Amino acid sequence: MHFFQTENILFQKMAFFNKKTSKISFFYKKTYQEKLEELKNFANLTEQDIFELKNLAQLSFGTADKMVENVISTIQIPLGIATNFLINKKNYLVPMATEEPSVIAAASNGAKLARFSGGFTATSTQPIMIGQIQIINIKNIKEIKSKILQNKNFLLKLANKQDIFLQKLGGGAINLKLKTLKTNRCNMLIVNLFVNVKDAMGANIINTMLEKIAPEIEKITNHKILLKIISNLSIYRMAKAKAVWKKEILGQDTIENILDAYEFAKIDIFRTVTHNKGIMNGIDAVALATGNDFRAIEAGAHGYACYKKKYAPLTHYYKNKNQDLVGKIYLPIPVGTIGGITNIHPSAKLSLKILGAKSACELSQIMASVGLAQNFAALKALVTDGIQKGHMTLHKRKL
Ligand code: MEV
């Protein structure tokens, strides 16, 4: 039986058991009303949610004015829905905010083709972030280190007092490690604080903890502290996703060409950066839609790309024994489903509701899957039609 037929049978079975699927045929051809109706059914949206979406879930001047300084207006970016995502056997309609044509269509296409082999499998680590305290002008490193380590429990307890609620949820400061730096100006000691931030992005929690424990460290060591700030290289907060694209669907030639395109990205940094940019097209769009800090994610992703000395692609491709294409992604994704503007911004709130992610970990797994789908779709387009074809289709529609 052909793969398309198998997929259709699965789809019919799902409909029969009234299970919701994100595989909505020709979603892009539906009218605006029909799209909203699909969303309403899929994500159990209320009439009020639909009313807000229709009114573009506008950010009022009052809300905007509470978010940043010197507000004069707001800028709007299209919010679209990527269909077809099946991640760990769960269907997702993924809200994406982007100004770039073809991004949402490409992600949907990558996800659609992955469904033939069961969609994406994704995992993530505990949401552990690092905060850094910089102690400068160190004369006797050994002595200062031992003074801090003697007070480690006291400092962790003090950090945790800043967010009792986080501890009740099973999170909080869990460890503290020291690192010495010999710089051109002086010897420094860096205190790295490790915090399980649960469903928050974590910057506020960590910066508050650091600012509270820093004066105590100053007293304990009798040394000056300079910076107290979160690290955006969150290598302990990783998300992983994998998908298999069947040889019968892609064709052997396309698979070979994608592998050659991947080799190019592995060797030539001018290509690697563009390859990773394509991944971030998807990840940033979900971050923006859900009110997350996409600059932090970008900085962390590119930092991680060169963490092992040489700047490298964030995705990996190879053939399995059936000659199918296997794609994997592994990168830090520090995101929250609470805190920041996730619960203030009307569009962010609605996007999280549509997505139905129950935790920050789940959100990071979705974003890793979107990044992989996006990268796969870009490579597939580049080795076949080129990317301008998709852009031109949209352009024609506009005209
Ligand atoms: C365009 O925004 C992204 C691509 O350049 C990514 C890539 O080349 O892999 C198409």
Write the pLDDT tens digit of every residue in 273-317: 999 999 999 999 999 999 999 999 999 999 999 998 899 999 999
Pocket test for ligand 1, best of 263, 387, 389, 391 (most atoms within 8 A of CB): 387
Closest CA to ligand 1's atom 6: 278
Q: Which residue has the higher pLDDT, 76 or 91?
A: 91
- Work out the pLDDT band at 378, boundaries 50, 70, 90: very high
The Cα 244–Cα 337 span in angstroms is 29
For residues 207 and 228, the answer to whether their CB atoms sit within 8 Å is yes
Atom of ligand 1 lying closest to residue 387 CA: 10
Q: Given 3-state DSSP classes, what are the helix, strand and coil percentages for the chain, each rounded to the nearest 5?
A: 50, 20, 30
pLDDT in tens, 183-206: 999 999 999 999 999 999 999 999
The Cα 35–Cα 47 span in angstroms is 14
User: What domains, with CATH codes, occur in the chain?
Assistant: 3-125+237-398 (3.90.770.10), 128-230 (3.30.70.420)
Mean pLDDT, to the nearest integer, of 95-124? 97
Expressed in angstroms and rounded, the spacing between residue 252 Cα and the centre of ligand 1 is: 22
pLDDT in tens, 236-246: 999 999 999 99
Q: Is 345 a catalytic residue?
A: no
Q: Which residue has the higher pLDDT, 190 or 61?
A: 190
Q: Closest Cα to residue 364, out of 221, 198, 218?
A: 198
Who contacts 227 (Cβ-Cβ below 8 Å, separation ≥6)?
Answer: 132, 133, 134
- Work out the pLDDT band at 391, boundaries 50, 70, 90: low
Q: Is 152 a catalytic residue?
A: no
Cα torsion angle, 96, 100, 105, 109, sign: negative
The DSSP bridge partners found for residue 325 are 245, 319
Distance from the Cα of residue 54 to its chain's centroid: 26
Is 380 close to ligand 1, i.e. is its CB under 6 Å away? no
Mean pLDDT, to the nearest integer, of 145-174? 96
Expressed in angstroms and rounded, the spacing between residue 218 Cα and the centre of ligand 1 is: 48
For residues 350 and 52, the answer to whether their CB atoms sit within 8 Å is yes
For residues 166 and 151, the answer to whether their CB atoms sit within 8 Å is no
pLDDT in tens, 41-52: 999 999 999 988
- Helix (H) or strand (E) holding 104, with range, is helix 103-114
- Work out the pLDDT band at 18, boundaries 50, 70, 90: very low
Is 275 close to ligand 1, i.e. is its CB under 6 Å away? yes
Predicted pLDDT of residue 57? 65
Mean pLDDT, to the nearest integer, of 14-37? 82
Q: Closest Cα to residue 104, out of 393, 335, 350?
A: 393
Expressed in angstroms and rounded, the spacing between residue 357 Cα and the centre of ligand 1 is: 27
Give this prediction's pTM. Answer: 0.92
Does residue 2 register a pLDDT over 60? no
If you write DSSP's letter for every residue of 35-100 in order, what string do you get?
HHHHHHHHHT--HHHHHHHHTTTPPPHHHHHHHSSS--------EEEEEEEEETTEEEEEEEE-SS
Distance from the Cα of residue 68 to its chain's centroid: 23
The Cα 316–Cα 370 span in angstroms is 15
Predicted pLDDT of residue 157? 97
Compute the mean pLDDT over every residue in the chain, rounded to the nearest whole number. 92
Q: Closest Cα to residue 285, out of 355, 367, 365, 362?
A: 367
The Cα 367–Cα 283 span in angstroms is 5
Does residue 15 register a pLDDT over 50? no
The Cα 261–Cα 210 span in angstroms is 44
Q: Is 309 a catalytic residue?
A: no
Does residue 352 register a pLDDT over 90? yes
Does residue 175 register a pLDDT over 80? yes
Q: Is 37 a catalytic residue?
A: no
N residues, the chain: 399
Does residue 380 register a pLDDT over 80? yes
Who contacts 165 (Cβ-Cβ below 8 Å, separation ≥6)?
Answer: none
Closest CA to ligand 1's atom 4: 278
Catalytic residue among 49, 293, 324, 362: 293
For residues 333 and 368, the answer to whether their CB atoms sit within 8 Å is yes
Atom of ligand 1 lying closest to residue 278 CA: 6
The Cα 231–Cα 176 span in angstroms is 14
The Cα 306–Cα 314 span in angstroms is 10
Q: Which parts of 98-215 are beta strand (E)?
A: 121-124, 128-135, 172-182, 187-196
Expressed in angstroms and rounded, the spacing between residue 295 Cα and the centre of ligand 1 is: 19
